[in-house]
Structure 1
């Protein structure tokens, strides 16, 4: 048996699979986020350990874990977990959606070497600019920093005693030479660090250590349980849904949204604001466009009109052409393709005919056009899309899927019901590390249906997308 631990922003999930990759048990534990100032988003790393302990205790209480051979890790990316020389946490972790370091990120990104080595823009949410913010604003903290870990890697430290990261998560720090799959000494030095401050690196499917005896005894596991390198949340989810070969892609409609495409070559184009990262498997990379509000935008609108997301989407029947009302879903800024931490969401084209249903359709279309922006950005780098799979809570909306298929003018595949997310991908990586298996076990899920584009509406969606992009240009200076 194999366990996947997925450290998310709102909770931690533990998933147990058997040798045939069938899910046989799961447990979850909640997490909370602190936002003490505008643009700040923090969590206590101690909360991650408590959540992991609770979830694992839950698994162990539900069935015997004596047959577990491997554990894989998936986690929220970009968080800055700062430790002193005794491995004590120095301050709350600054999370992926913390944008306070926007000035530091802009200053770093203005120096060409960052994009040249990492293959990416230095985004405000990435780890390196957060360290520069701490250096500029918390000198008492920075003077005591001895180690910088990503969230799931702090969890690994507790599980194994080893300070290790892996390529897919490390690629989101702005310190990794993404083509060479190694820390860049040049970029570390530019932020006052060196390799001594960083964890060692393994591939996501390789072993990073073994479970500490104390924890193995607590949960009734063998003494030699292997802990895999694992992956950043999106790379692990890609392993879970089988998107590991060039041409395969998925669109995730969760709190935030991702368009993720696997690649067998390193082909960065930072100017597009596309993320070009290492995949969680050796000699594989991936590209993704990230839009910061997907179901988050729908839930925001539902609260605004006093309803819930399922009711609102259920009120929409057949796909219709976009109306005059447009919604820009930039509730907390946007990454791809704008790299704009200051832009905010807006409705335009409101009129007497704009009722609740029209507002719902506009919100779904706004996120759909964000998907189209990411699709265009990835395609411009040469990424191909042979297959697109939809995952995440938003994929339960038939209307939304039809809108995306029509806006992209390509079919969208929907898996059968099941868990193909980060925890499942992490469990697969744990299986690989424990058995020596490779990418061949990361098979695609069974597809329950294919949502085809509505050819009669593709032109209308293309026209509305053009208005959407023009509206961003017109309004960006007003936010």
Structure 2
């Protein structure tokens, strides 16, 4: 058996697979996020470790974990986890959806004109490097004590093994990695006052980086298992869904939304706000577009109206609402693709006295789908080709939402078994690959043998009768952002008055 631990924004999941890759069990523990100021988003790294302990304890009640052979990790990308020289956490982690460092992004690109060429990406406030520049400028006492910077899942790896490690897929999202060399870049590190000594060693996602320390193994009731480097959540999701070769892709409906495509080489296209990163598997890269509030938009609305997400979806399905004049812009945490605008705001437009909760729910599902269409258009303009799209993430459980996305993208979408635990499944698969590769087996053979596409549960074809409605509404969706984004800047300024 193999264990995959997936550190998300809303929770940590543990997924166990057998030697054939079948999912045997999953457990989870929830996490909370704090936003002490507008555009800020933070988490306590110690809560991640406690969630890890809790999930393993839950799995212990169902399985004999002494039979595990290896552990893999996946995790939310970009988070800045700052440690002192003793490995102690210096401040809450600044998360991927934190928008405070826009000024630092602009300064980095002006001061280091080769940053985009070296990293293959624009400096965006979600990435790790500008966060460190922000800390340097706004919390100099913290920066003075800073000895190490780890990504969220890599902090879990450090707690498990005592070793500081990362993988090239997750490290690509820092702006410090050169995706062509798949290693840290000294010039990019120096731009934020760091050097190689502040960074963990970078491995391929399926490479073994160490084993559980004796103390941790005893604490968790586990053998001293080997640990692989793992992957950023999207690359891990690709491994879990068998998206490993060019012209394959998937859409993830997690807290954020991701449109992910595989490429055979590093294809940077920052002018289209497309991310160009390393894949978690050797000799592979990927491009992706990101919308920052996908399932998060629905969860936000559910909390606002004192309902659960399933209750909202059930109520919509039971109603006769199939179209609505209400438009929702899902920019609750700003937006990346295609706007790179941390000050973008969420909006409902078109509300009238007779507007229903069901119409607002439908507008949210459509708004996220339109943001994914923005991503698709950006990726296509960057040269990405996708013949088949799978769906993963918690939001993908909704058949209605899957169909809306198929209609909006005008593409066939495939929902597969294990899609709701894609990154955790991918982390477990990476553990399997690493453990078997250490026995001398060829990695390309292992990828072909074990990183297969799971069973198809449902296929969604675009509904041609809805095409005109969505095409016209998408044009309005685009116009609404363009006509209001400067007003959002003025609205954000009110908080400082």
Query: Which TM bucket (shorter chain)?
Result: over 0.9
Pair 185,204 (structure 1): closer, same or farther in 2 beyond 3 Å? same
Partner of 1:475: 484
1:458 aligns with 2:467: yes
Counterpart position of 2:365: 364
* Cα contact 2:206–2:228 (8 A) shared by 1: yes
- Superposed displacement of residue 245, structure 1: 1.3
Aligned to 1:9: 9
Is the 1:157–1:163 contact (alpha carbons within 8 Å) kept by the matching residues of 2? Answer: yes
Contact 1:241–1:420 under 8 Å retained in 2: no
Separation in 1, partners of 2:239, 2:312: 32
TM-aligned CA deviation for residue 339 of structure 1: 0.4
1:86-235 correspondence runs (5 A):
86-110=86-110, 111-223=112-224, 225-235=225-235
Match of 1:73 in 2: 73
Matching of residue 31 in structure 1 with residue 31 in structure 2: yes
Aligned-residue offset at 1:24:
2.5
Question: 1:156-191 CA deviation, whole Å, 9 max, x = no partner?
Answer: 111111111110110010111112211111111111
Match of 1:342 in 2: 343
Q: How far, CA to CA, are the matches of 1:451 and 1:78 in structure 2?
A: 32
Q: CA RMSD in A?
A: 2.0
Please say if residues 331 and 345 of structure 1, whose CA atoms lie closer than 8 Å, have aligned partners that are also in contact: yes
Following superposition, the deviation at residue 457 of structure 1 comes to: 2.2
Secondary structure of 2:476 counterpart: helix
Asked if the contact 2:418/2:425 (under 8 Å) is kept, the reply is no
What is the distance in 1 between the residues matched to 2:49 and 2:312?
A: 37
How many Å apart are 1:293 and its aligned residue?
Answer: 1.3
* Offset, 1:370: 0.4
Aligned pair in 2 of structure 1 residues 13, 316: CA closer, same or farther (>3 Å)? closer
Q: Which secondary structure does the structure 2 equivalent of 1:12 belong to?
A: strand
* 1:68, distance to aligned residue in structure 2 (A): 1.6
Which residue is 1:378 aligned to?
379
Deviation at 1:418, TM superposition (A): 6.3
Following TM superposition, by how much is the alpha carbon of 1:312 offset from its aligned partner in structure 2, in angstroms?
A: 3.1
SS at the partner of 1:465? helix
Deviates more, 1:306-315 or 1:161-170: 306-315
On the 8 A contact 2:392/2:419 being kept in 1, the answer is: no
- Classify the secondary structure of the residue corresponding to 1:165: strand
Could you tell which deviates more after superposition, 143-152 or 9-18? 9-18
- Give unpaired runs (5+ residues) of structure 2: 438-442, 489-497
Q: Provide the C-alpha distance between the structure 2 equivalents of 1:309 and 1:27, rounded to a whole number of angstroms.
A: 20
TM-score by length of 2: 0.91
Distance 2:320 2:447 in 1: 38
DSSP-derived class of the 2:465 partner: helix
Judging changes above 3 Å, is the alpha-carbon distance between structure 1 residues 157 and 304 closer, same or farther for their aligned structure 2 residues?
A: closer
Q: How far off is 1:104 after superposition? A: 0.7
2:447 matched residue in structure 1: 439
1:274 and 2:274 equivalent?
yes
What displacement does 1:320 show?
7.9
Equivalent pair of 1:178/1:277 in contact (CA under 8 Å): yes
Match of 2:41 in 1: 41
Structure 2: how far apart are the matches of 1:96 and 1:174? Answer: 13
Contact 1:15/1:423 (8 A) holds in 2: yes
- Distance in 1 of aligned mates of 2:17 and 2:418: 16
1:38-68, Cα deviation, whole Å (9 max, x unpaired):
2222222222222222222332343222222
Secondary structure at 1:171 match in 2: helix
Distance change >3 Å, CA 36–CA 329, structure 1 → 2: same
Give 1:73 deviation, angstroms. 0.7
Secondary structure of the structure 1 residue equivalent to 2:136: helix
How many residues matched? 478
In the TM superposition, what are the counterparts of 1:230-245 in structure 2 within 5 Å?
230-245=230-245
Q: Distance in 2 between matches of 1:418 and 1:368?
A: 18
Does the 8 A contact of 2:397 with 2:420 survive in 1?
no
Q: Is the 8 A contact 1:160 1:211 kept in 2?
A: yes
